[in-house]
């Protein structure tokens, strides 16, 4: 028997409820497979369902969002049908997330070190001294200079790029099998974007964490991702090796997207 794939999404459907009470189908019939250590890009215009798909994977849908069809199998276990206890064990420890805006994700009154310390504690590390050592190690790993000292600084004392690095360090605290990064560099200037994306690529190669990168940057997709999903109107319209999708797009939306790349 072959081992199950790391993540197998089949026929995923997600609905929200509109203010007038009518159902709003955000995602339908989405299927894809993520192998261990793979790098997968998800692209598509605003509102095409990228974030909703990512959030559905570990059942963190906001507001009225709910999974209405399909399965999300993590090594065979269907998370779409899992209970809260099981989901808590998955979030962070199996599937880590990095979001777009580090400032809203960080608590202004807590130090960088405390953020990571809390993440380590949530993942069952109960030895304070070991957590401190690991915190400094993680800050160093994500490229924060002088991590011993900087662990005691607060979010506003870091640059935007450094705050995103702190969020990545928090996501790494659980040693996840999958790192979901939802437009992690949108709020940053171009040079810093490249540095953060390079860091995510390095982490994928060094730790074997699979990377799902939601991005608008086709240059990054071409350089950093083995496979690409293109979403349009809540469905997946392309799924293939990046080189193939970029040279022989099958859907008109993808062709238009590529024409827009300088
Ligand atoms: P993308 O990330 O590709 O920009 P989203 O997944 O955010 O797209 O949105 C997909 C659809 O789901 C859109 O029609 C959006 O309006 C809807 N949607 C997303 N979040 C919510 C929410 N919290 N409440 C209601 N509708 C939402
Ligand atoms: Mg989004």
Give 248's Cβ-side CA count (13 Å radius): 4
- Ligand 1: does its nearest atom lie under 6 Å from the Cβ of 215? no
ipTM: 0.98
Using CA positions, which residue lies closest to atom 10 of ligand 1? Answer: 49
Contact status, residue 74 vs residue 7, Cβ threshold 8 Å: yes
- Ligand 1: does its nearest atom lie under 6 Å from the Cβ of 50? yes
Q: In the prediction, which pLDDT does 242 show?
A: 95
Q: In the prediction, which pLDDT does 92 show?
A: 84
- Burial call 41-75: b when 16+ CB within 10 Å, e when fewer: bbbbeeebbbbbbbbbbbbebeeebebebbbbbbe
Mutate to test the pocket of ligand 1, among 13, 14, 16 (most ligand atoms within 8 A of CB): 16
CA of 237 to the centre of ligand 1 (A): 18
Q: In the prediction, which pLDDT does 262 show?
A: 59
Which one, of 142, 101, 93, lies nearest residue 119 by Cα? Answer: 93
Q: In the prediction, which pLDDT does 99 show?
A: 81
Rounded to 10 deg, the angle between the 112-122 and 128-141 helix axes is: 120
Q: In the prediction, which pLDDT does 1 show?
A: 57
- Ligand 1: does its nearest atom lie under 6 Å from the Cβ of 24? yes
CA of 26 to the centre of ligand 1 (A): 6
Using CA positions, which residue lies closest to atom 26 of ligand 1? Answer: 16
Q: In the prediction, which pLDDT does 261 show?
A: 67
Q: In the prediction, which pLDDT does 2 show?
A: 67
pLDDT in tens, the chain (262 residues): 567 799 999 999 999 999 999 999 999 999 999 999 999 999 999 999 999 999 999 999 999 999 999 999 999 999 999 999 999 889 888 999 998 777 778 999 999 999 999 999 999 999 999 999 999 999 999 999 999 999 999 999 999 999 999 999 999 999 999 999 999 888 788 888 889 999 999 999 999 999 999 998 888 898 889 999 999 999 999 999 999 999 999 999 888 888 776 5
- Ligand 1: does its nearest atom lie under 6 Å from the Cβ of 47? yes
CA of 170 to the centre of ligand 2 (A): 21
- Ligand 1: does its nearest atom lie under 6 Å from the Cβ of 102? no
CA of 159 to the centre of ligand 2 (A): 23
- Ligand 1: does its nearest atom lie under 6 Å from the Cβ of 13? no
Q: In the prediction, which pLDDT does 185 show?
A: 85
Q: Tokens at residue 201, please?
A: 């690529």
Q: What is the pTM of this model?
A: 0.93
């Amino acid at each position: 028997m072959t081992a199950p794939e790391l993540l197998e999404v089949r026929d995923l459907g997600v609905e929200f409820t509109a203010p007038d009470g009518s159902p709003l189908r955000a995602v339908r019939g989405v299927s894809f497979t993520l192998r261990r250590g793979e790098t997968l890009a998800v692209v598509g215009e605003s509102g095409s369902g990228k974030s909703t798909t990512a959030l559905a994977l570990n059942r963190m849908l906001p507001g009225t969002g709910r999974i209405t069809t399909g399965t999300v199998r993590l090594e065979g276990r269907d998370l779409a049908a899992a209970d809260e206890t099981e989901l808590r064990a998955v979030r962070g420890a199996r599937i880590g997330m990095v979001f777009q805006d580090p400032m809203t994700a960080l608590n202004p009154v807590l130090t960088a070190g405390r953020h990571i310390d809390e993440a380590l504690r949530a993942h069952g590390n109960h030895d304070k001294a070991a957590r401190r050592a690991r915190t400094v190690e993680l800050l160093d790993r994500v490229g924060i200079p002088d991590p011993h000292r900087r662990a005691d600084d607060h979010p506003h004392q870091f640059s935007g790029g450094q705050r995103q690095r702190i969020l990545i360090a928090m996501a790494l605290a659980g040693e996840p099998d999958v790192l979901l990064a939802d437009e992690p560099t949108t709020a940053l200037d171009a040079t810093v974007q490249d540095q953060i994306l390079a860091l995510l690529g390095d982490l994928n190669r060094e730790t074997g964490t699979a990377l799902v990168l939601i991005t608008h940057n086709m240059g990054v997709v071409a350089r950093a991702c083995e496979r690409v999903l293109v979403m349009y109107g809540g469905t997946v319209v392309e799924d293939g090796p990046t080189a193939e999708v970029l040279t022989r797009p099958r859907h008109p939306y993808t062709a238009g997207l590529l024409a827009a790349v300088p």
